[in-house]
Amino acid sequence: MSTLDHVVLDLPFRGTWRARNSPARRVPSHGTHLFATTYAMDFVAVRGRRTATTRDWRTLVSTEPAERFFAFGQPILAPAAGRVLSVHDGEVDHLARRSPLALLPYALTQAARVRRGAGAIAGNHVILELADRGGFVVLAHLRAGSIRVDVGESVPAGRELAACGNSGNSTQPHLHLQVMDAADPFTARGVPMSFRDYRVWPRSGGPPVAVARGVPGESEVVEPA
């Protein structure tokens, strides 16, 4: 098992995305070490501060089509050079849930999804083995049928791997990203990650601030430089 203690990546998308469940806020970032998610981070595509094209009665009391969210279908890129170790496809993209009325019954089925394994949790996903024994990156909740790479394929940083979806344990389209020290998330440990050359849009307005290397804070809106 690797003694890897930190990995520096590129942001795996284009445009502006909001960081959620950031390890800059707390560790473990998702509230558990299960499945090597200790330092995982979620990214939700935004336009300004909005995550979707529409907000209507369904937003308040029901489920919503995944297609109305900006993240859905957006290209997901390799955050570093490496080899495609694993690909999982075939999970459906769920309806999205912003309403507390829709979120509550979904939360009650969380344990059942965990018991069903990686597909039910990560949804459609790619595991990338980074070059030079640099760890293993999981890119999860991908759109069904969108994966563009095959197992064993070598990819450069920035290569389009798939599209963002709403598969697995996901309440609205977003990308889940994590680094592990081994290939199997059931036995691996999470590895801290940071990102190079990106910009942060200040909450108070004004031009974006360049970051040479860092970890996006909770709810920060970031984009590649």
- The yes-or-no verdict on residue 38 having pLDDT over 60 is yes
Mean pLDDT across the chain: 92
Spatial separation of the C-alpha atoms in residues 143 and 95, rounded to whole Å: 12
Q: Which domain holds residue 193?
A: 7-224
Is residue 71 situated within a structural domain? yes
Is residue 85 situated within a structural domain? yes
Is residue 154 situated within a structural domain? yes
Is residue 2 situated within a structural domain? no
Residue the block writes with tokens 């993240």:
71
Task: Determine the average pLDDT of the residues in 183-190.
Answer: 93
Is residue 51 situated within a structural domain? yes
59-75 as b/e: b if 16+ CB within 10 A: beeebbebebbbbbbbb
Q: Which of the two residues, 107 and 65, has the higher pLDDT score?
A: 65
pLDDT of residue 68: 96
Number of domains in the chain: 1
Residue the block writes with tokens 């970032």:
29
Task: Determine the average pLDDT of the residues in 177-206.
Answer: 95
Is residue 118 situated within a structural domain? yes
pLDDT tens digits for range 63-88? 999 999 999 999 999 999 999 999 99
Is residue 123 situated within a structural domain? yes
Is residue 181 situated within a structural domain? yes
Supply the pTM of this predicted model: 0.93
Task: Determine the average pLDDT of the residues in 161-189.
Answer: 96
- The yes-or-no verdict on residue 2 having pLDDT over 60 is no
Q: Which of the two residues, 108 and 210, has the higher pLDDT score?
A: 210
pLDDT of residue 134: 83
- The yes-or-no verdict on residue 31 having pLDDT over 50 is yes
pLDDT of residue 3: 47
Q: Contact, 159 vs 10, CB < 8 A?
A: no
pLDDT tens digits for range 123-160? 999 999 999 778 999 999 999 999 999 999 999 999 99
Instruction: State the CATH number of the domain containing residue 103.
Output: 2.70.70.10
pLDDT of residue 167: 97
